[in-house]
């Protein structure tokens, strides 16, 4: 009931905002009738220069496309679970929400809701939108500075009597950019923001809400900084997105000139640069008027500045403003609204399929499991799964494009391109709709891609349109990537990463494969699960060797192992405990990894007198030898989902402190030696429990790896299906 009430309230709010924009449009027409001449505008429009009118339409469409491309590319760079179609549509909705909210251009808060709905984390969504906004603000500030310089040097009379309001707008823009810069790069700034919020929280009506926001600020900002700074390292990408943004804005600022030409007004090519500069100043610097779409401020300043030109009178200026606004604001709003409606329709179709899927699996006792593979007759993993699942009273189906006598009689065959080049790159981009239909027609409940790199696009396509949970086991290609040439390796590696990110769970079939997944520099947003690891491999993790360290000065000792993403993982861990360092003065954190701390981190540790509590050892080969000397093993939160190293601790009878985000078999929840945490909630509490409680001798984990693979896989599949039932 509460959710329904919120939805109704949001719909009412949106409707009021749309009506308000309509009122502004009517007011705009009224202003044109008062300041200009509607009949004159009508005559000019009827007799418009068709050639220039087509140019205006083409420029408007070009602007609308180019303006959202930076957002689109930044979203792709973040490698989220969201498909490109929805990503493009979500970026396009900005035009609509720019029109009905007072927010500045660049990105909109509503887009976060869409991202969250489609599996993008809050951190990623914040990073995408803020980076997009920074990209816009940076380019807009550079161009507005250039525009002010041009106007002040060559047309100073245009700025006469309007200098104060222009400077205020410029300072507001620059101030916002400066604020975001500090938010992105300053380690101290989050604390400043937090203190400011606590100060505001003293005002009683806002106390509860602002206190909660203030409490979460350091963690939210820390995660945003980590994600954003990773992108800022990609200089070519930043230059590319900046150039795309410049093209979009230059197109936008040139539209009024071509509107004037289309209306047969007396403007020459010499006025082109100056009209662009005027448009830039009006739209960028005046966009801070607290009205939806900044309506009112932009129009007023645009007309004031334009009438200062000798070749443009007030009536012409109003006409140019009205037609320009019609194309760049109201047509853009319609574009954004259309994108929003299409996105809603696509999601409604997917939601309907989810509803039907839930009804189908509601009381299901056996699952129809699709094992997708490039070939079955030479794929031992697929054969083992098929046999074990059949033995466990499930209904497995082999899905492949390779026909062979060894294939089961009920094999579902996919179409594959005959092009040798496509087959060489294992890249079947064709027959996606046909192949999806073949799968859905058999009412498959869950899909498991086993060495099926050729069908990476099919995985993404199914994820985009269907609610079927997807599991991935890609061992052959992950082990052979280094043997390929650079072009083939990059091509397959890119698609493999997309498979991992789009899937629900990744299952390496051996420890060696698990380590390979950890070593590859893929974005750690996928889940590695140990379901397929054997009992022998688990036992091989045991180590009788003990490394003694001179650590008698510390009451507690904890071990962390960073096989990849070294600095990011350390930053995540350090800033996770930074606010509670006094609780760990008697603790030593032993970190196994090959890296050196950056100067800023060293200074922070020394300043907080915590540098002696961190011991970094480059001894990855003997990492498990340190378990005998510590109270517990800590799996840090960043990239924890892509690591199975915690199994080594459990095999060596060491307590484990794991983040809640990690993927693990359900039976592990009963293990008393595993303590789950999140930095924002209960890290201190869980690490304290792990330190104080004795290690319990139990065989839960070892017995799990003794269980037949068919039973383990079935439990995993039912776990994924149960998640769908809950939703």
Torsion (CA) 224, 229, 235, 239 in degrees, nearest 10: 30
Question: Residues 551, 629: contact at Cβ < 8 Å?
Answer: yes
- Sequence-distant contacts of 163-168: CB under 8 A, at least 24 apart: 165/286, 165/301, 166/281, 166/285, 166/301
Domain ranges of the chain: 2-349, 363-538, 542-696
Three-state SS for 93?
coil
Return the number of other C-beta atoms located less than 10 Å from residue 538's C-beta: 20
pLDDT in tens, 45-82: 778 889 999 999 999 999 999 999 999 999 888 888 88
* pLDDT higher than 50, residue 294: no
Question: Residues 223, 216: contact at Cβ < 8 Å?
Answer: no
Looking at mean pLDDT, say which of 379-383, 516-520, 677-681 comes out highest: 379-383
Torsion (CA) 184, 188, 189, 191 in degrees, nearest 10: 130
Looking at mean pLDDT, say which of 122-126, 579-583, 716-720 comes out highest: 716-720
pLDDT at 365 (0 to 100): 78
d(CA 582, CA 603): 17
d(CA 479, CA 240): 33
* pLDDT higher than 70, residue 37: no
Query: What is the fold of 363-538?
Result: Rossmann fold (3.40.50)
**Domain 542-696, CATH homologous superfamily name and number:** Glycogen Phosphorylase B; (3.40.50.2000)
d(CA 34, CA 27): 10
Put residue 294 in one of left, alpha, beta given phi > 0 → left and psi -120 to 50 → alpha: left
Q: What's the average model confidence in pLDDT over 149-157?
A: 73
Question: Residues 401, 415: contact at Cβ < 8 Å?
Answer: yes
pLDDT class of 293 with cuts at 50, 70, 90: very low
pLDDT at 28 (0 to 100): 54
pLDDT in tens, 184-195: 777 677 777 777
* Range scoring the smallest mean pLDDT among 87-96, 119-128, 212-221, 612-621: 212-221
pLDDT class of 220 with cuts at 50, 70, 90: low
On the CB side of 198, how many CA atoms lie within 13 Å of its CA?
10
What is each CA distance from 253 to 160, 248, 702, in whole angstroms? 21, 9, 67
The length of the chain is 727
Tell me if 363-538 shares its fold with 542-696.
Answer: yes
Question: Residues 333, 348: contact at Cβ < 8 Å?
Answer: no
pLDDT in tens, 536-551: 999 999 988 887 777 7
CA proximity to 495, closest of 527, 533, 540, 449: 449
Q: Which residue has the higher pLDDT, 237 or 247?
A: 247
pLDDT in tens, 414-450: 999 888 777 777 777 789 999 999 999 999 999 999 9
On the CB side of 630, how many CA atoms lie within 13 Å of its CA?
31
Q: Mean pLDDT across the chain, nearest whole number? A: 83
pLDDT class of 126 with cuts at 50, 70, 90: confident
d(CA 561, CA 636): 9
pLDDT in tens, 474-512: 988 888 888 888 888 888 888 899 999 999 999 999 988
pLDDT class of 10 with cuts at 50, 70, 90: low
pLDDT in tens, 80-99: 888 899 999 999 998 888 77
CA proximity to 127, closest of 112, 147, 140, 113: 112
Q: Which residue has the higher pLDDT, 10 or 357?
A: 357
pLDDT at 9 (0 to 100): 61
Question: Residues 602, 477: contact at Cβ < 8 Å?
Answer: no
Question: Residues 294, 286: contact at Cβ < 8 Å?
Answer: yes
pLDDT class of 12 with cuts at 50, 70, 90: low
pLDDT in tens, 191-218: 777 777 778 777 776 677 777 667 667 6
Query: What is the DSSP annotation of 599-614?
Result: HHHHHHHHHTT-GGGE
Q: Of all residues in the chain, what percent carry a pLDDT higher than 70?
A: 84
Query: Hey, which residues does 675 pair with through a beta bridge?
Result: 657
CA proximity to 639, closest of 590, 576, 589, 568: 568
């Amino acid at each position: 009931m509460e959710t329904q009430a919120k939805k109704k309230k949001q719909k009412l709010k949106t409707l009021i905002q749309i009506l308000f924009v309509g009122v502004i449009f009517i007011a705009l027409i009224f202003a044109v009738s008062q300041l200009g001449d509607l009949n004159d505008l009508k005559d000019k429009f009827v007799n418009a220069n068709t050639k220039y009118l087509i140019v205006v339409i083409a420029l408007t469409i070009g602007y609308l496309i180019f303006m959202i491309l930076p957002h689109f590319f930044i979203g792709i760079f973040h490698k989220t679970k969201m498909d490109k179609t929805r990503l493009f549509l979500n970026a396009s909705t900005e035009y609509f929400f720019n029109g009905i909210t007072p927010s500045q251009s660049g990105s909109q808060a509503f887009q976060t809701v869409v991202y969250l709905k489609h599996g993008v984390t809050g951190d990623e969504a914040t990073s995408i939108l803020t980076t997009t906004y920074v990209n816009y603000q940076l380019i807009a500030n550079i161009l507005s500075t250039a525009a002010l310089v041009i106007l002040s040097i060559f047309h100073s009379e245009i700025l006469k009597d309007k200098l104060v309001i222009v400077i205020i707008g410029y300072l507001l823009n620059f101030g916002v950019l400066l604020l975001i810069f500090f938010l992105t790069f300053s380690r101290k700034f989050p604390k400043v923001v937090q203190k400011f919020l606590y100060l505001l929280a003293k005002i009683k009506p806002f106390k509860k809400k602002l206190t909660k926001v203030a409490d979460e600020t350091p963690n939210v900002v820390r995660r945003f900084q980590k994600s954003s700074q990773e992108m800022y390292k990609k200089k070519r990408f930043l230059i590319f997105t900046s150039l795309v943004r410049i093209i979009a804005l230059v197109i936008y600022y040139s539209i009024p000139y071509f509107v004037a030409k289309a209306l047969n007004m007396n403007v020459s090519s010499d006025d082109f640069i100056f009209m662009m500069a005027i448009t830039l100043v009006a739209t960028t610097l005046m966009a801070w008027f607290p009205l939806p779409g900044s309506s009112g401020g932009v129009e007023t300043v645009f007309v004031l500045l334009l009438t200062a030109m000798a070749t443009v009178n007030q009536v012409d200026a109003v006409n140019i403003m009205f037609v320009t606004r019609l194309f760049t604001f109201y047509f853009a709003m319609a574009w954004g609204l259309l994108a929003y409606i299409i996105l809603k329709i696509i999601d409604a179709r997917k939601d309907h399929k989810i509803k039907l899927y839930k009804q189908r699996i509601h009381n299901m006792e056996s699952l129809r499991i699709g094992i997708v593979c490039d070939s079955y007759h030479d794929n031992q993993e697929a054969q083992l799964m098929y046999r074990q699942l059949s033995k466990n009273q499930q209904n497995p189906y082999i899905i492949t494009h390779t026909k062979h006598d060894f294939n089961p009689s009920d094999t579902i065959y996919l179409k594959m391109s005959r092009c040798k080049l496509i087959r060489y790159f294992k890249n079947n981009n064709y027959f996606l709709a046909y192949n999806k239909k073949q799968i859905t027609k058999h009412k498959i409940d869950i899909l498991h891609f086993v060495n099926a790199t050729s069908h990476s696009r099919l995985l993404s396509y199914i994820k985009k349109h269907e609610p079927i949970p997807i599991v991935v086991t890609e061992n052959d290609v992950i082990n052979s990537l280094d043997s390929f040439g650079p072009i083939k390796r990059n091509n397959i590696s890119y698609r493999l990463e997309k498979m991992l990110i789009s899937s629900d769970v990744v299952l390496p079939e051996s420890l060696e494969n698990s380590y390979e997944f950890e070593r590859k520099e893929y974005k750690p947003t996928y889940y590695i699960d140990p379901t397929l690891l054997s009992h022998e491999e688990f036992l091989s993790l045991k180590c009788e060797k003990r490394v003694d360290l001179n650590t008698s000065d510390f009451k507690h000792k904890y071990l962390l192992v960073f096989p990849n993403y070294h600095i990011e993982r350390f930053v995540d861990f350090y800033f996770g405990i930074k606010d509670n360092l006094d609780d760990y003065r008697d603790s030593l954190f032993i970190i196994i990894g090959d890296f050196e701390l950056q100067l800023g981190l060293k200074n922070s540790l020394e300043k907080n007198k915590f540098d002696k509590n961190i011991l970094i050892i480059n001894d990855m080969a003997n990492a498990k030898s340190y378990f005998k000397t510590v109270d517990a093993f800590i799996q840090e939160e960043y990239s924890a989902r892509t690591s199975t190293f915690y199994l080594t601790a459990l095999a060596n009878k060491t307590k484990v402190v794991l983040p809640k985000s990690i993927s693990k078999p359900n039976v592990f929840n009963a293990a008393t030696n595993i303590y789950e945490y999140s930095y924002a909630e209960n890290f201190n509490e869980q690490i304290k429990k792990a330190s104080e409680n004795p290690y319990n001798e139990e065989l839960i984990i070892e017995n799990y790896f003794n269980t037949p693979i068919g039973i383990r896989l079935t439990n995993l599949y039912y776990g994924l299906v149960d998640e769908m039932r809950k939703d």
